A and B are shown apart, each in its own frame.
Chain A
Amino acid sequence: MTTLTTRYLGIELRSPIVASAGPLTGHLDTLERLEDSGAAAVVLPSLFEEEVVGESMRLHETLEQGLEQNPETVSYFPDMDFSDLGPERHLRLVEQAKQRLSIPVIASVNAIAPGTWSRYATEMVEAGADAIELNLYAVPNDPSRSAADVEGEYLATLREVRSAVSVPLAVKLSPFFSSTGHFAMCAVDAGADGLVLFNRFYQPDLDLETLDVVPELELSHSWELRLPLRWIAILRGRLPRTSLAASTGVYSGADVAKALLVGADVAMMTSALLRHGISRVGLVEQELLDWMQEHDYESVSQLRGSVSQGAVADPTAFERANYIKVISSVRVSPESLT
């Protein structure tokens, strides 16, 4: 009998397929459908402090606009209750998700100011979150700050949250560190129970008609899985007790199998579900099961890390040589030269 159970952040999961933070984990009805189709855990959308503060303040400003500006007009809008605005909506989502779902609920935080990370994380835990994912999503755009400064700030944030909450803590990293592995190790030292590899940044695009800068949401593609595969493979052996999650480009059972083989505990999906629907979770699980049975694997733990860097015959395959090999293996078509 093939078993899919795995442990992530110390929590037992029925399978290694987790729905990562995204639009589908932002509503109770889609959360329930995710659970129904087999997601082993869900990561709720990040509470972006900047966004929730901005939302409140924008509303406040427009409601105050024109208030008591002439004798006929005390206000322009009906008196309504928006107390669900801001962090409260996220907290309520955590609370309700916990009530409605039987799978673990992981809450995600992205704050801007020191102090608020731990405050929001604490509130998420109080609302029932089984674990916290710190979404270290920022563009370090100040050239006067060194990589060490930036990383130091990330680690300070992590320590602050670690000391504030007792539930398991994961950190979602960007792939843009000079020494990704080093930072990953530091993060674990600072208290992270798990690492999510990797965050995807929405990159700006230009509208050539208006010359406006427009944020574009590009969903990931299956081939993008290779980046997390490499780093999970490299880190697995070095961080034996740390949970590792593969995020970005997980589309199929085969993708999950690869993630597990290089050492992930779970594989996280969002883009594939947005493209193909929530039922994709069930399909991916079946594909994984079929593959494992076909290849005589009995459990995820057996599979996990069996093709990590430390476990393969040629560890350099995950390193630079890989690049040279790949480049030199590209066959140039005659058309591309025209």
Chain B
Amino acid sequence: MAGTTASAKPKWACIDGNEAAARVAHALSEVIAIYPITPASPMGELSDTWSAAGRPNLWGSVPEVIEMQSEAGAAGALHGALQKGALATTFTSSQGLLLMVPNMFKIAGELTSAVMHVAARAVATHALSIFGDQSDVMAVRTTGWAMLCASSVQEAHDFALIAHSATLRTRVPFLHFFDGFRTSHEIDKIELLDDDDLRALVREADVLEHRARGLTPDRPVLRGSAQNPDVYFQAREAVNPFYDAVPPTVTEVMEELASLTGRRYGLVDYVGAPDAERVVVVMGSAAGAVAETVEELGRRGEKVGLLTVRLYRPFPADALVASLPKTTRAVAVLDRTKEPGSPGEPLYLDVSASLAEAGRLPETLIGVRYGLASKELSPGMVKGVFDDLGNPARGRHLTVGIRDDVTHRSLEPDPEFALPTAAVQAVFYGLGADGTVGANKSSIKIIGEGTDSYVQAYFVIDSQKAGSVTVSHLRFGPDPIRSTYLIEKADFVACHQFGLLEKMKVLDVARDGSTFLLNSPYSATETWPHLPVEVQQQIIDKHIRFYVVDAHSLAREVGLGGRINTIMQPCFFHLSGVMPQSEVVPRVKDTIDKAYSKRGRAVVERNYAAVDRALESLSEVAVPDVPAGDLHRMPPPPDAAPEFVKRVTARLIAGEGDLLPVSAMPVDGTFPTGTAKWQKRQIALDMPVWDPSLCIDCGKCAVVCPHTAIRMKIYRPDALKGAPTGFQSKPYRSRDLPDRLLTVQVLPDDCTGCGLCVAICPAHSKTEVKHKSLDMEPVDSRRETERPLWEFFDSIPEVPREEVRHDNVRGVALLEPLFEFSGACAGCGETPYLKLLSQLFGDRMIVANATGCSSIYGGNLPTTPWSVDRHGRGPAWSNSLFEDNAEFGLGLRLGWERQNAEARRLVDEWRELIGEELADALLDADQSNETGVTSQREHVERLKEMLDRSGAASGPALRSLSSLADELVEKVVWIVGGDGWAYDIGFGGLDHVLASGRNVNILVLDTEVYSNTGGQASKATPRGAAAKFAASGKPSSKKDLGAVARNYGTVYVAQVALGGSDIQTVRSLLEAVAWPGPSLVIAYSSCIAHGIDMSTSLDQQKAAVASGYWPLYRFHPSPEPGTTPFQLDSKAPTVPVADFALAETRFSMLAQSHPGHSRHLLALAQADADERWRYYEQLAGVTRSLPREAAPEPEPEPGENDTGEAT
């Protein structure tokens, strides 16, 4: 913003960039077609919420918000709505934007007024990243859409309007974008546009003209023709005048906006010295950090400037040239994207061409990549760019913000460079879902809306699903805040979780003389010796004023469980002095009222009580002169850890990933597996403790554990030699394996305390029913005891795989899991299925994993739960995309099949050399069971030894066989993903793969909702459940995905629920793999998005089955005539669906908010279940067989003719 004059009665609000854009988009649209994707999801969700509440657009009608099956679908719906002449928009990001590309070309080619709002995000390359950069928007710059870039929350609001206005005036569609997270999720105090502003800029005549261009049979036209070489080219050039008109029109709209609001923007804006010699060109949120740096350097007498590009397409070359001071000798163009192989990144090339065409090329012109995937761009880094600008030794194509020790292209930041600020800066450490972020959002609104201060709030949340660390950065002060980077020197630091002091360097950010507030379970006099000595030293050295409050105890006392937000918040206000003390409690209560009154008065009253008592519990700690005690921060991983883990993974775990140089990183995104065990998250409060005297060896605990943190082993008694004191065991009850002992062992640092093992444990004490073979106990009392026990347990060899049965739970529980300690939510319903796969097939399994929760807890750095056995074998895992997972998995299978076929061909071809007996053994091996697989591995080893020994592998064919020998062992491909993938975005591909007849196995982890992006409805969402985009309850019934697959008659299909029947689950997975064609297993997966206490999830699964809501079945095709392939594995429903449903918030929230509608939908849901059961019962009697392939016609014997007569 180049200048501001106060307009009459400005209306201020503290909102984030997504809301800033969505407010305008919703007000100016009739149709909004969306698909959730981070970080753009909130724009669609807000629009849906507003429409659901009846909020009208500018013209009085309520926009229709429709969730589609993919971004491709959203773009298609957008295109259609626009072609009908409606005002339509969409919101997206990253991969979603890429899926819209074909329609974007169409919409632009047809000169259609449209706007899409993009929270710009990295595109998946060597890895997926949800974080912000401009790779996505740069990938669509050829589509013909005008591109307008907002660099702050205020601009996201204003530019949304400019885009909607300009597109109607020019007929060129506009892509309005801003940086993901930094702008989309940053909360700022902004001045709101009002309806008059919108009405002034969106001219009625333009709207009517757009409508008039819509398709109607009353004035029929044909649009979307196919054109031939004779005219296509000319027609393409016909649009030129419209593009020529865009820059002046945008200028015109910007000027109109300035006259209304006083906020003045240009196509490019220059700030800095009028006679600057060095200028940085940038686009997006980095403009804030660069502008502050330029101002400070200017104060220091340096002649520097900043050029911010706002309109990126059509590129405003003239404006850019005109804005650049004539004195400029050196220009650095900052690009927030990477285009490998190009002569420069896009903005660099555009600037370069513009200056060259104008004859204004400076002495030095360089391109600098920065900020990929939300990498920081701090003032020190910007200073580094200016410092080196003009240094010819550095070359033209550089980076900043990382250390490139490979190609040496990175610029050095100035670590000493700091900007003066009048703002108060506060940093808060918390854990996800502990209320810290929510409290800070509330606090910043209180400050921003209750005082004259400007405010900014930005949140850094790591992407573990549970136990993630949140760091909130809050600034407030008398001047507008443009600091688009993390706080480096905080005046106030709060740590809302005591345990974080051991894991994070919480006080590194504290400035000298700052205030530190700690949520401590100890009193002011007892806390000190419980702090790590490193923390104590920092408190002493930095002269920190130190306060404690026992928020967790207080929260429990007032009946708020683990939520401490309304206790920590008043303490912050009290200590920060941001407002008069007398106002603190009333203001906090006011926000409690706003936030919670709609959940009933008890919630409000308990939070009031928390506020009232918070300050009484706050006390200052008298800081001693020297540290006390011998507690230290968490040590690095032990020497036994692999080299990569020590060199890279451990740094990531310690939060030092930013410090790793380029050379530390794998060049192609390939990482070792088996790393989760080096990350000890320690998030449990309670853990299970085993009583062997009650144990019945059933194995259920180990099977249901979502975190693989409870293990079972059997072993011969001599294995107990050297066992530590307290190591427990019991005789294993087995006729086949006599003389074995059994131990159930819990990993105290990896257990999340979800309690599922205790819930499932069937072994009660006969004298005291509450005492089971597993009881929960406080983890603090057990951790030290259990650690050495686990270490010994781990050293006991695994039972040989062929010694135990794989078709029952008791046996499977003894198989080594190769999926362990995922970062999934405590009690996750998905992970037990993956663990089961890893136990049954892990040593020969390839996983194609759709993007979603399972790809995040499965493949999100720093570690992966996918693991390896003692032979180094384990699941090979990859994630392609969200939409193509079935096809990706099919490709993996096809690749293996060709390799296997080639290996077999070579074995056959070289059987004389290999030896008939070995060749036959290799080619005829029955690998349908564990013994067969083990035996084939031995054959393969013999083959490899033979090839090595004989030196035969020196020829090309046998070298090839040598490289393919392992592929003679059957590989199992599992295609894994959630319901969003299988039912919606990936359904077309899934269907094609099912139809292909190929031998792939598909596991759908069906949580019945988009879990990863936060609870949006999918086609798996059941009738009557509330979800985002189905806030009034999903009106239609869930898609029967199994029916689609069964319909082919050639697909093995099973519907399973671990809590409904664990044995049916195990058998289904085995049968799926045994089936030589495609298999589909649909697995009921409990999720926190169901709104249940996750420790009850297995009971809920049981109820889902018992009510007929989730019938268990297997569809096993057979070529035998007269067989009935459909087998119902669950009993006829015994309880009403409502009994199951109303125990879950997703259903009960509707019953509470709209009881009548809920009753209506639940009655229909009951009818769905009744009807499905009736239908399934009939199916169970239907005979159906696979057409048996006819025996091949005998080839005519030589010498026979068609008549069979000898010739």
Residues of A within 8 A of B (CB): 52-53, 55-57, 59-88, 211
Contact = CB atoms under 8 A, between A and B. Distances in A.
A310 to B, nearest CB: 47
Interface stretch (B515-523, B601-609, B655-663): B601-609
Nearest to B1026: A78
A25 to B, nearest CB: 16
A65 B462 CA distance: 17
A76 B1086 CA distance: 13
A63 B599 contact: yes
B130 interface: yes
A82 B598 contact: yes
B470 interface: yes
B319 interface: no
25 contacts: A53-B600, A55-B1152, A56-B599, A56-B601, A64-B433, A66-B433, A67-B433, A68-B433, A68-B438, A69-B432, A69-B433, A70-B462, A71-B131, A71-B181, A71-B462, A72-B38, A76-B1014, A78-B1029, A78-B1031, A80-B1031, A82-B599, A83-B599, A83-B600, A88-B600, A88-B601
B1012 A68 contact: no
B300 to A, nearest CB: 37
B1205 to A, nearest CB: 76
Interface in B418-475: 432-433, 435, 437-438, 459, 461-466, 468, 470
A74 B1012 CA distance: 10
A211 B769 contact: yes
Contacts of B130: 71-72
B433 A59 contact: no
B1152 A82 contact: yes
A74 B1014 CA distance: 7
B185 to A, nearest CB: 8
B1153 A81 contact: yes
B690 to A, nearest CB: 20
Contacts of A71: 38-39, 130-131, 181, 461-463
A138 B1119 CA distance: 66
Interface stretch (B21-29, B948-956, B1088-1096): B1088-1096
A78 B130 CA distance: 22
Given A69-B468, A78-B1028, 18 more contacts: A56-B600, A59-B1149, A62-B1092, A64-B563, A66-B1089, A69-B465, A69-B466, A70-B432, A71-B131, A76-B1015, A77-B1026, A77-B1089, A77-B1149, A78-B45, A78-B1029, A79-B49, A80-B1149, A84-B1153
Contacts, number: 154
B1051 to A, nearest CB: 32
Nearest to B131: A71
B470 A68 contact: yes
Contacts of A88: 600-601
A125 B641 CA distance: 70
A86 to B, nearest CB: 4
A59 B601 contact: no
B1027 A53 contact: no
Given A78-B1027, A78-B1031, A70 B461 contact: yes
List 9 tightest A-B contacts by C-beta distance, closest first: A56-B600, A69-B432, A86-B600, A85-B600, A78-B1031, A76-B1015, A69-B433, A73-B1014, A68-B437
Contacts of A66: 432-433, 825, 1088-1089
Q: Which of B38, B461, B599: most chain A Cβ within 10 A?
A: B599
B596 interface: yes
A70 B559 contact: no
B597 interface: yes
A75 B1015 contact: yes
B1091 A70 contact: no
B764 interface: yes
Contact of B1145 (A59, A85, A86): A59
B561 interface: yes
B1013 interface: yes
B477 interface: no
A70 B601 contact: no
A264 B1110 CA distance: 52
A59 B598 contact: no
B887 to A, nearest CB: 24
Interface string B562-578: 01000000000000000
Given A59-B1152, A86-B601, A74 B432 contact: no
A78 B46 CA distance: 10
Contact of A65 (B433, B602, B1148): B433
Nearest to A67: B433
- How large, as a class, is the contact surface on chain B? 35 or more
Interface string B1087-1113: 011011100000000000000000000
A68 B1088 contact: no
B344 interface: no
Q: Which of A63, A65, A71: most chain B Cβ within 10 A?
A: A71
Contacts of A56: 599-603
B1146 interface: yes
A84 B598 CA distance: 8
Given A60-B596, A86-B601, A80 B1026 contact: yes
Contacts of A53: 600, 602
A211 B856 CA distance: 40
B1153 A61 contact: no
Nearest to B1028: A78
Interface string B228-247: 00000000000000000000
A77 B1015 contact: yes
A80 B459 CA distance: 25
A81 B1153 CA distance: 6
B1010 to A, nearest CB: 10
B731 to A, nearest CB: 26
Given A61-B561, A78-B1026, A68 B601 contact: no
Interface string B1145-1171: 110110011000000000000000000
B801 to A, nearest CB: 35
Contact of A63 (B41, B45, B856, B1145): B1145
Interface in B1005-1019: 1011-1015
A263 to B, nearest CB: 40
B802 to A, nearest CB: 36
B755 interface: no
Given A70-B468, A71-B38, A76-B1015, A82 B1149 contact: yes
A71 B769 CA distance: 42
B598 A73 contact: no
B698 to A, nearest CB: 16
Nearest to A85: B600
A238 B437 CA distance: 64
B1141 to A, nearest CB: 14
A66 B1146 CA distance: 14
Contact of A77 (B437, B601, B1146): B1146
Contacts of B559: 57
A132 B549 CA distance: 44
Nearest to A59: B599
B499 to A, nearest CB: 16
A88 B601 CA distance: 8
A57 B1092 contact: no
A48 B764 CA distance: 34
Nearest to B16: A74
B1029 to A, nearest CB: 8
B384 interface: no
A121 B78 CA distance: 55
Contacts of B346: none
Contacts of B459: 68
A72 to B, nearest CB: 4
Contacts of B390: none
Nearest to B1030: A78
Contact of B600 (A55, A69, A72, A74): A55
B465 A70 contact: yes
Contacts of B1092: 62
Contact of A68 (B461, B600, B1027, B1091): B461
Contacts of B1145: 59, 62-63, 77
